[in-house]
A and B are shown apart, each in its own frame.
Chain A
Amino acid sequence: MPNSRQPLQSEPAAIRPLPTLRHAGQLFETERRLNAVLNNASVSIFLMDDRQHCIYMNRAAEELTGWTLDEVLARDCPLHDIVHHTYPDGRPFPLHECAIDRAFPENNQERGEEVFVHRDGHFYPVGFTASPIRDDAANIIGTIIEVRNISEEKAAAERQRLLINELNHRVKNTLATVQSIAAQTFRGRTDLAVRAVFDARMTALSTAHNVLVEDNWESASLISVIERSLAPHLLAEVDINRFRLDGPDARLHPKVAVTLAMALHELMTNAAKYGALSTGEGRVSVTWALSDLGGGQQQLDLTWQEQDGPPVAQPTRKGFGSRLIERQLPLEFDGSAVITYAPEGVVCAMRIPLTQLGWIGQETVEGSLAP
């Protein structure tokens, strides 16, 4: 490689007087402070010259790699060949394939994750940041690399992945188990139509949880919740000839997602039995808007409107669906929900202040709230 840059090396020839000459005592004091900073830092710091040889490493870097600075200097080869020479699968890892090496000198700051090899032969995952060092004429003469051992973070992420898989599995299994227990318990004792209503509700609950699973239980997409609730069954899509859906997406808190999904399921069931979806011509429009309540909180205003169905009569009694929608939903979210049995079609207007995303103790952990 032709080298037009001034190398950053510890050879005497490369050492020139500093632009501002200072008193020797002052210089000593500065160096002492810098060494104290570098050697007490928990992050590993490597200073590289333009040949990717390491010319300085702090104490944390020595502990991380198992090599001392003197040993690394004595090896007189690219640092890559000392700490990064083998892929975790055992294949040799040549310097030209190394992302950290490529960071020099094209980019200003390169971040990434790699797997290093310790002196004793074990592999460990690291996160790195590589930044160029420039001379007075802005030429890049070396690289400073910060490296952190991320073994614990990797292990924590893996544990969380396993837990979430287990949670998904448990929840789905529990719902299926409840369904089975109900089927066994009520076999021959309950009207088949009642069983079908129960099964459909269990399926709606299960579907609502599918949407949550997709985002690690943290939140659910509003559009996904609506679309899944209105699809005739799990694998189908919403019938665009019968439904008009219009509104922006939002992230819903899991509690909102589940209750909204159940409410929409009840409206669907009612429409299919008595309303617009009980005939070939009827249609349903679901429209919604989001507004800002201040303090980062949003409000969802959603309207379910049936049209072109049979004439609507006031229901003779209020069942599970209207109890869930008109009574529980406003109580649960401090909102409102009104079902109007207008002759030309059922209308349900819901106003739900959206619960902010997060979990108990999140503010404390993130330090935004004093414990």
Chain B
Amino acid sequence: MTMLTGRRVLLVEDESLVAMFAEDMLLDLGCEVVTAMRLEQGLTLARNEDFDFAVLDVNLGNTRSYPIADLLFERCIPFLFATGYGRQGLEAAYQAVPVLQKPYQADPLEHLLTRLLTCEAPAHKGASSVPATCRCQPAEAEQGRFRADPIR
């Protein structure tokens, strides 16, 4: 049992194979996963259902996931962006949102989601950086904490 066990998560990821991978990773963390692969699906879910947190891929092919992020801000549902482009790929209004650098990895994902749940001052739209009172740090800065598998 961890803090993540039994949590309901909205996963928005537009590539089938990557979505399957991320879904499995969240299931392994004990989460209940609801997956959306298109903007409209994600918006409907974010508007109508309850989630403990969300993981949003930024680039959804023909569009971006920012409208979903806006709904989550409004509903005070914490979330992180998963993107291969890193923080510099985010629009200015979303700079305070924690970023998980793709490809998905279990340890950084678990770490960041745990921080998301314990964060006292969640990010809000337009904030220029992660709030000082928040212990969430950008994923990039955290990556050094994780050791690679020992070479055998």
User: When the two chains form the complex, which single residue of A253, A328, A355 contacts B16, counting CB atoms closer than 8 Å?
Assistant: A328
User: When the two chains form the complex, which single residue of B16, B37, B62, B64 contacts A324, counting CB atoms closer than 8 Å?
Assistant: B16
Instruction: Answer whether residue B14 sits at the interface, using C-beta atoms and an 8 A cutoff.
Output: yes
Instruction: Answer whether residue A102 sits at the interface, using C-beta atoms and an 8 A cutoff.
Output: no
Give the residues in chain A near B62, CB-CB below 8 Å.
355-356, 358-360
Give the residues in chain A near B36, CB-CB below 8 Å.
331
Which A residues, 320 to 371, have Cβ-Cβ distances below 8 Å to chain B? Answer: 320, 323-324, 328-329, 331-332, 334, 355-356, 358-360
User: When the two chains form the complex, which single residue of A328, A358, A359 contacts B37, counting CB atoms closer than 8 Å?
Assistant: A328
Closest Cβ neighbor of B16 among chain A residues: A328
Instruction: Answer whether residue B41 sits at the interface, using C-beta atoms and an 8 A cutoff.
Output: yes
Give the residues in chain A near B16, CB-CB below 8 Å.
259, 262, 324, 328-329, 331-332
Question: What is the bound-complex CA distance between A171 and B15, given in angstroms?
Answer: 16
Are the CB atoms of B37 and A331 closer together than 8 Å?
Answer: yes
Report B5-43 CB contacts with A as 1/0, cut-off 8 Å. 000000000111101100000000000000111101100
Give the residues in chain A near B20, CB-CB below 8 Å.
320, 323-324, 328
User: When the two chains form the complex, which single residue of A324, A329, A331 contacts B38, counting CB atoms closer than 8 Å?
Assistant: A331
Closest Cβ neighbor of A256 among chain B residues: B61
- State the Cβ distance, B151 to closest chain A Cβ, in Å: 11
Instruction: Answer whether residue A255 sits at the interface, using C-beta atoms and an 8 A cutoff.
Output: yes
Closest Cβ neighbor of A255 among chain B residues: B61
Question: What is the bound-complex CA distance between A356 and B38, given in angstroms?
Answer: 14
Instruction: Answer whether residue B63 sits at the interface, using C-beta atoms and an 8 A cutoff.
Output: yes
Give the residues in chain B near A255, CB-CB below 8 Å.
14-15, 61
- State the Cβ distance, A136 to closest chain B Cβ, in Å: 56
Which B residues, 47 to 70, have Cβ-Cβ distances below 8 Å to chain A? Answer: 59, 61-64
Closest Cβ neighbor of A189 among chain B residues: B152
Which A residues, 298 to 337, have Cβ-Cβ distances below 8 Å to chain B? Answer: 320, 323-324, 328-329, 331-332, 334
Q: How many B residues have CB within 8 A of the partner chain? A: 17
Report A119-153 CB contacts with B as 1/0, cut-off 8 Å. 00000000000000000000000000000000000
Give the residues in chain A near B38, CB-CB below 8 Å.
331-332, 334
Are the CB atoms of B17 and A262 closer together than 8 Å?
Answer: yes
User: When the two chains form the complex, which single residue of B17, B37, B41, B64 contacts A360, counting CB atoms closer than 8 Å?
Assistant: B64
Give the residues in chain A near B64, CB-CB below 8 Å.
360
- State the Cβ distance, A361 to closest chain B Cβ, in Å: 10
- State the Cβ distance, A27 to closest chain B Cβ, in Å: 57
Are the CB atoms of A355 and B61 closer together than 8 Å?
Answer: yes
Question: What is the bound-complex CA distance between A104 and B64, given in angstroms?
Answer: 53
Question: What is the bound-complex CA distance between A360 and B39, given in angstroms?
Answer: 14
Are the CB atoms of B14 and A332 closer together than 8 Å?
Answer: yes
Question: What is the bound-complex CA distance between A358 and B64, given in angstroms?
Answer: 14
Closest Cβ neighbor of B36 among chain A residues: A331
Question: What is the bound-complex CA distance between A259 and B14, given in angstroms?
Answer: 11
Closest Cβ neighbor of B35 among chain A residues: A331
Question: What is the bound-complex CA distance between A360 and B64, given in angstroms?
Answer: 9
- State the Cβ distance, B108 to closest chain A Cβ, in Å: 19
Give the residues in chain A near B15, CB-CB below 8 Å.
255, 332
- State the Cβ distance, A259 to closest chain B Cβ, in Å: 5
Report A55-89 CB contacts with B as 1/0, cut-off 8 Å. 00000000000000000000000000000000000
Question: What is the bound-complex CA distance between A323 and B37, given in angstroms?
Answer: 14
Question: What is the bound-complex CA distance between A259 and B13, given in angstroms?
Answer: 14
User: When the two chains form the complex, which single residue of A331, A355, A358, A359 contacts B41, counting CB atoms closer than 8 Å?
Assistant: A331
Question: What is the bound-complex CA distance between A320 and B41, given in angstroms?
Answer: 23
- State the Cβ distance, B58 to closest chain A Cβ, in Å: 11
Question: What is the bound-complex CA distance between A259 and B17, given in angstroms?
Answer: 8
Report A148-164 CB contacts with B as 1/0, cut-off 8 Å. 00000000000000000
User: When the two chains form the complex, which single residue of B19, B41, B59, B61 contacts A328, counting CB atoms closer than 8 Å?
Assistant: B19
Question: What is the bound-complex CA distance between A324 and B62, given in angstroms?
Answer: 21
Interface set of B (CB-CB < 8 Å, partner A): 14-17, 19-20, 35-38, 40-41, 59, 61-64
Query: Can you give 28 A-B contacts (C-beta < 8 A)?
Result: A253-B61, A255-B14, A255-B15, A259-B17, A262-B16, A262-B17, A323-B20, A324-B17, A328-B17, A328-B19, A328-B20, A328-B37, A329-B16, A331-B35, A331-B36, A331-B37, A331-B38, A331-B41, A332-B14, A332-B16, A332-B19, A332-B38, A334-B41, A355-B61, A355-B62, A356-B62, A360-B63, A360-B64
- 13 further A-B contacts with Cβ under 8 Å, apart from A259-B17, A334-B41, are A255-B15, A255-B61, A320-B20, A323-B20, A324-B17, A328-B16, A328-B37, A329-B16, A331-B16, A331-B19, A332-B16, A332-B19, A355-B62
The 6 closest A-B pairs by CB, nearest first: A328-B16, A331-B37, A332-B37, A332-B16, A259-B16, A255-B61
